[in-house]
A and B are shown apart, each in its own frame.
Chain A
Amino acid sequence: MKSLAELEAIRKATISKINVRKENEAETVRVVVGMATCGIAAGARPVMLSFMDEISKRQLNHVTVSQTGCIGMCRLEPMVDVIVPGHEKVTYVHVKPEMVPRIVAEHIVNGRPVDEYTIGAAE
């Protein structure tokens, strides 16, 4: 395996962030990407990694990204839920990696969901 020293540096840098997150657990924003056969085939993998990259680039320690299975609306995949505490869940549909920076900037950072990407606009 390549440089484990690099990984050790990541560990040190991450531990303090984790402690801050634990103190603010009630404010954690959750991003949930559909990753069943349908989501994967529709392109969910690069979408998931784009959220990862964007969150790490902006140092958004209060955001977690996780995966879920198929919720039965396969034709709208890739689907992404953004859950901000105290607000209703927002579901984005047909998500592409290019849409991710805008969702992160407008919704997660500034609190305004990107209406045109949501399931409400698609239906």
Chain B
Amino acid sequence: MREIALHLLDIVQNSVTAGASLVEIGFHLAEDGMLSMSVRDDGCGMSPELLARVRNPFVTTRTTRKVGLGIPLLQQNAMASGGDVTLESELGRGTTITARFNTASIDCLPLGDLAETLATIIMGSPDKPDFSLTCSSPAGEMDFSTREVRAVLGEEVSLAEPEVVQWIRDSLREEIEPILGGIMR
């Protein structure tokens, strides 16, 4: 993966597969350059046994083949910058994964196109779950929620309509740039 935003696109799928109804995504950049990316869902959660094993690339819940690289690759990149990945999960309650990156490190990935990632995530799961995004840095903060978009669009218009996806991407780009623009590229 060449961007932190691509890791997000990848691991959010885990929350969707877990049957979540709300997925809360957060990016928080501290004064000292530490970036934390968190994904909290209210999906099916994991047993303590599975939770202890998910960082292993040879552990996956899918049945088509025996490898799952999403979390191991994320952990590798977080650690390469001097950060880490923490996981909390409870069966029936949901899972929270937090990856921390030291953006001051030469080995840290750029944040990348977070707006395009969000648009792609929403397009891929337009009906359920709802997604929210909050970004903050010393420069300011923003938040976004598909619930608000749904409230305007009503029942008939899907969030996967091309014009809606473009609106999401373009308006998020405008809002994220002033806050996290410094670590995007």
A18 near B123 with CB under 8 A, answer no
* B107 CB within 8 Å of chain A: no
A18 near B156 with CB under 8 A, answer yes
* A55 CB within 8 Å of chain B: yes
A residues near B, CB below 8 A?
1-4, 6-8, 10-11, 13-15, 18, 35-37, 40-41, 45-46, 48-49, 52-53, 55-56, 64-67, 70, 72
Name B129-185 residues within 8 Å CB distance of A: 143-145, 148-149, 152-154, 156-158, 160-167, 169, 171, 174-175
B119 near A49 with CB under 8 A, answer yes
Given contacts A37-B73, A56-B162, A72-B64, contact A11 B123 (CB under 8 A): no
Tell me, in angstroms, the Cα distance from A48 to B120 when the chains sit together.
8
B residues near A, CB below 8 A?
1, 6, 9-10, 13, 64-65, 68-70, 73, 113, 116-117, 119-120, 123-124, 143-145, 148-149, 152-154, 156-158, 160-167, 169, 171, 174-175
* Residue of A whose beta carbon sits closest to that of B158: A18
Tell me, in angstroms, the Cα distance from A66 to B64 when the chains sit together.
21
* Residue of B whose beta carbon sits closest to that of A54: B162
* Residue of A whose beta carbon sits closest to that of B161: A14
Tell me, in angstroms, the Cα distance from A19 to B91 when the chains sit together.
42
* Residue of B whose beta carbon sits closest to that of A51: B162
Tell me, in angstroms, the Cα distance from A99 to B92 when the chains sit together.
44
Tell me, in angstroms, the Cα distance from A55 to B154 when the chains sit together.
23
A45 near B171 with CB under 8 A, answer no
Q: What are 24 of the A-B contact pairs (CB < 8 Å)?
A: A1-B148, A1-B171, A2-B174, A4-B148, A10-B161, A18-B158, A18-B161, A35-B13, A35-B120, A37-B10, A37-B69, A37-B73, A40-B9, A41-B1, A45-B6, A45-B116, A45-B117, A49-B116, A49-B120, A52-B166, A56-B163, A65-B160, A67-B123, A70-B64
